[in-house]
Structures are given as C-alpha cells and as structure tokens.
Amino acid sequence: MMRLNKFLAHAGIASRRKCDDLIRAGLVKVNGKVVDQVGVVIDEQKDKVTFKGKLVKPKRKFIYIVLNKPKGVVTTASDQFNRKTVLDLIAIPERIYPIGRLDYNTTGVLLLTDDGDLAHRLLHPNYKVVKVYRALLNRVIRPIDIHRLQNGVELDGAKTQPCKVTELRIVDNGSLVEIELTEGRNRQVRKMFEALHYKVRELERISFAGIKASGLAPGEWRYLNKSEVALLKEKVGYGSER
C-alpha cells in the first residue's frame, strides 16, 4: 500500500507536494474515478492510476552493488556443491545477480544488480567495457612476452584482442602485472599467461567499467552512488535516456 502522491512522485510525475496540487485539480483517476482529495492510499499492485488520461507506471528503482570478492567464494546465485556464493555475502531481500564472473580464487571488484538490461550491455563485446586485473606471476615476465600479450595470444583457436599490459614491480621473485582487457572470455587472464608458460599465483580485479572497491575489505560491499551508476550507463550508450 502507498499514498497516491508518493506513487505519482515515484513515477516521475512531479514532487510529492506538486502531486498533491495535481490531485486537488482533479487530474488523477484511480480505477476510472477522479480522486481530488489528498491522503488517499492505493494498492500499487492492483489499482489502476491515470494522470491526464494516461496510465501511470512507477519507474523501477534498480539496485547496483559493488562487492570486494574474497577467495573461496563462487560467483553464482547457488552452488550444487554447497560452497559459499557471493549472494551469501550480501544480506538484502531483493534478488540480484552478478555481472559476469570471477573464478573461485580470484578476488576483487564484482558488480551485482537486478537491472538485467544494463548487465547485458556491460558484458556485450560491442561496448568494449574495460576490466583491469593485477596478476602475481610465478616468475619475472620477459619483455617479449609483455609484447605478445599486448598483441594477442592464441586461446582455444582464437586470438585475444589487443590489450594493455604493464609490469608494476617484482614480488617474491615474480612479476606483479597489470592487464587491461575489453574481452570477457572464461578464465581469460589465467589462460593468457598459461599460454606463455607463466603460472598466476594471485589474481585480483581492481576495476570494472571504472568502478573500484576502494576501502572495502574482502567480503565487504556497498551500493553504488548516483555518479557511479551514471558512469556505467554512459559507458554502454544510455546517455540521459534512462
């Protein structure tokens, strides 16, 4: 149940106060009857509300979350082996889903939402959404292999797209490498290094479409703010339409 002015405001008609004025002016009908008294409560699931003769449908408020995924958690809604899932870490009543996947032992930025269209666009290859990873290798990477990775390596019969690869520093006799991808193949980062005979000891995604998990400990999450949601929509061509 919801007050009529709140329902109209959620639908983007006007502010609640202005909606009260519109109701008093007799411009709103509920189930075909004019309602000109403020304070009316409706059942937003059953009642039919019109404004100036047009059906009013509330704009859905989607949920957008960034999780700093820890190791030992699967990126699915459920798991047949009863392993902990990313949804077990996010205690909210709404049904949300991860945008893409991170491997069981890969950590870092994972976005979750109930906005299926945006999720689809963020994963679609046409939009070339950038994902940034940091991989700790089992040995020091050779400059020639950085060049090979940047220009694409053969994986499962198809060459990977050009990407940016930077060696950041040496850690425990292995290179810490940052790699920026616009593709999203299954286990792509690990497979790219394996193709050149490197083993990835640790793998973290530090950014997805410009969204980071700064300040979040492994397993912690937060809602995206308005500017972050706008950034995601801009990257997949929504502009101001949505």
- State how far the Cα of 132 lies from the Cα of 152, in Å rounded to an integer: 16
Segments of 31-96 assigned E as strands: 33-34, 41-42, 49-51, 54-55, 64-69
48 contacts 32 by C-beta, under 8 angstroms: yes
Strand pairing report for 200-208 and 107-113: parallel
| Residues annotated as catalytic (active site), given as ranges | 103
- State how far the Cα of 113 lies from the Cα of 40, in Å rounded to an integer: 33
- State how far the Cα of 81 lies from the Cα of 44, in Å rounded to an integer: 40
Look at residues 189, 216, 215, 211 and name the one whose alpha carbon lies nearest to residue 201: 189
Segments of the chain assigned E as strands: 2-3, 28-30, 33-34, 41-42, 49-51, 54-55, 64-69, 97-98, 107-113, 131-137, 154-155, 158-159, 164-171, 174-181, 200-208, 221-223
